[in-house]
Amino acid sequence: MDWMEETLERRTHPQGLWDEAKAIIVLGVNYGPEMDPLAALERPEIGAISTYARRRDYHDVLKGRLKLLAGWIAAQDVGEGAGFKVFIDTAPVMEKPLAQQAGLGWQGKHTNLVSRGFGSWLFLGSIFTNLDWPADPSESDHCGACRACLDICPTQAFDGPYRLDARRCVSYLTIEHKGAIPPALRVGIGNRIFGCDDCLAVCPWNKFAQKAREAKLAERGDLAALPLERLAALDDAGFRALFATTPIKRVGHKRFLRNVLIAIGNSGRADLAPSARARLDDDDPIVRGAAVWALAKLLDDDAFALLRQARAASESDAGVKAEWEG
């Protein structure tokens, strides 16, 4: 199995998720980027998409690979009654601490796993088994005095080393958060429209990182520099067609538009104002509110005041009214 050449396999003990489990096989699959993940931040007219999302959804790829590996183990002479359960973000499995116990790497100050061989770029999955299996030695922390990941965070989401306030994290805000993004955090998002790689990308251990070799996890070049103008104009069908096989599809069209409009507001590009104005009539108040905020950032005071006078009175949503009022 060529794919296993870059897959780290380790074992550690279960913690009660499956009563019959006696061991956990924790695996990390490399998704090292082909280019500098921070380069897109220098181009405010495009949408910056996290490295992991510019490819096929890893859940789909890894689940099949883990089942293949479990089948291969079962095919060996391991005795009758061998059982396996595969988990990839599908159960309350604490994959990062388990991976550290299993020796794949350690949880860095940014709370993500860091590997001496692959840097910050590992997808994690686990196989719970009822087979007896010796445990591997755990990995120790090698962050030292470095705090590069803490200092680069655009929204100051770290309370301190190893302490992340997810409510301020750009990845949380652009992917998991369902409502309007808090105004105080919008500028820090910049042109990031899905996730954030900053704390991962600056880790010094990435000097040992390797480009991903798994063909099914190859980066899609067309997602590296998508113009915000094009993204703001996508309808639901266009959104689904463009991102059908990627993790981006999970946020849905409306939340994605919210993110794009925040990026447009942060772009400083007056030529993108028409893209935001076109969304003032969107049926979703979260989208309309983000469009108002973007226009407030891009238009001069007089132009925005005229627009507010013409549009604000007809708005029925309290949240969007608050955006008009600033």
Q: Which residues are catalytic?
A: 89
- Decide: 289 and 180 in contact? Cβ < 8 Å: yes
In 113-208, the DSSP E strands lie at 113-114, 122-129, 158-160, 163-164, 192-194
- Decide: 60 and 168 in contact? Cβ < 8 Å: no
The one-letter amino acid at 314: S
- Decide: 51 and 223 in contact? Cβ < 8 Å: no
CA 53, distance to chain mean position in Å, is 7
Residue 310, classified by CB atoms within 10 Å of its CB into exposed (0-12), middle (13-18) or buried (19+), is: exposed
Structure-token pair, residue 248: 């981006």
Structure-token pair, residue 247: 């993790």
Provide φ and ψ at 145, rounded to 5°.
-90, 0
Angle between helices 236-243 and 252-267 (to 10 degrees): 90
Q: Which of 198, 242, 219 is nearest to 35 (CA)?
A: 219
| b (16+ CB within 10 A) / e for 109-134 | bbbbbbbeebbbbbbbbbbbbbbebe
Angle between helices 301-311 and 285-298 (to 10 degrees): 150
